[in-house]
Amino acid sequence: MRRFSAVIVDDEGPSRRRIRQLLSGEPDFQVIGESDNGRQAIDLLRRSPPDVLFLDVQMPELDGFGVLEAIGAKAIPAIVFVTAYDKYALQAFEVHALDYLLKPFDQDRFRETLERARARVTTAQAAELSEKLRAMMAALTPSPRERIVIKDSGRVTLLDTSTIDWIEAADNYACIHCGEARHVIRETMNALEKRLDRRMFVRIHRSYIVNIDRITEMQPWFRGDYLVFLRDGTRLKLSRSYRESLKAFLSEGSTLSF
């Protein structure tokens, strides 16, 4: 009988004990290590690489994604995320064919996870897993913060792009809306679009770029156009020519659909 080694990384003691208890009922699994923090987990995984890693997503100091980045894609085993993330984050994991355990989980769900883990370890899917995991890390790991230089009356401000709600074109200028604040810079929308993080910002009209996290609702308007509603009540037009760009941001689990 093929035996599988497992490592458990979770900062919550009850969660680690629960996983260890369930694995004790599986004769082909052996726990070879545990850790309650991400930094210790890195050393453990380098010393004793397991077949399957049960990894908590949210941990102090260094989270699960930081652990995976530190050990490198080539050394990453089959991953089972143990997480309290909401269903939308979990669906992001599913897109990349990775399994997860949503706290609290029952024995049936755990055994289903083990079956998937066995398949990944014992078949050619193991090599494919590394590629999918790299794609997942690239999609979910935040990029370094981009800052835009704002010059006004001799003052220079470094604007964190994560604070931007939406941007409006004004000839060769752009008006940046950040809550109650407004900033005008001499830059075209095309140039700004290239500079902004494509995972955070989307162009919905030749005159508008929006932070995707600020969108709360969309309503059909006329001739294929839509109205886009932001958290602060702002209404912007989504033109037909930019609909596909916005659709690319929306997963099956999104509350937005059209």
In this prediction, the residues of the chain whose per-residue pLDDT falls under 50 are: 88, 92, 95-97, 124-126, 142, 251-257
Strands (E), 105-220: 147-152, 155-160, 166-170, 173-178, 181-185, 201-205, 208-211, 215-220
Q: Which regions of the chain carry the CATH code 2.40.50.1020?
A: 147-247
pLDDT score at 199: 79
What lies within 8 Å, CB to CB, of 152 at 6+ separation is 183
Name the CA dihedral angle for 195, 196, 198, 203, rounded to a multiple of 10 degrees: -100
- pLDDT of 207: 92
| CATH code that applies to domain 4-138 | 3.40.50.2300
Closest by CA position to 222, among listed 207, 208, 240, 246: 240
pLDDT at position 212, please?
Answer: 86
How far is Cα 82 from Cα 57, in angstroms, rounded to an integer?
7
Q: Rounded to whole angstroms, how far apart are CA atoms 51 and 132?
A: 17
Does the reported pTM lie above 0.75? no
Q: What is the CATH number of domain 147-247?
A: 2.40.50.1020
Every domain range in the chain assigned CATH 3.40.50.2300: 4-138
pLDDT of residue 88: 45
- List, in sequence order, every residue forming a beta bridge with 78; answer none if it has no partner: 52
Cβ contacts of residue 163 below 8 Å, gap of 6+? 178, 179
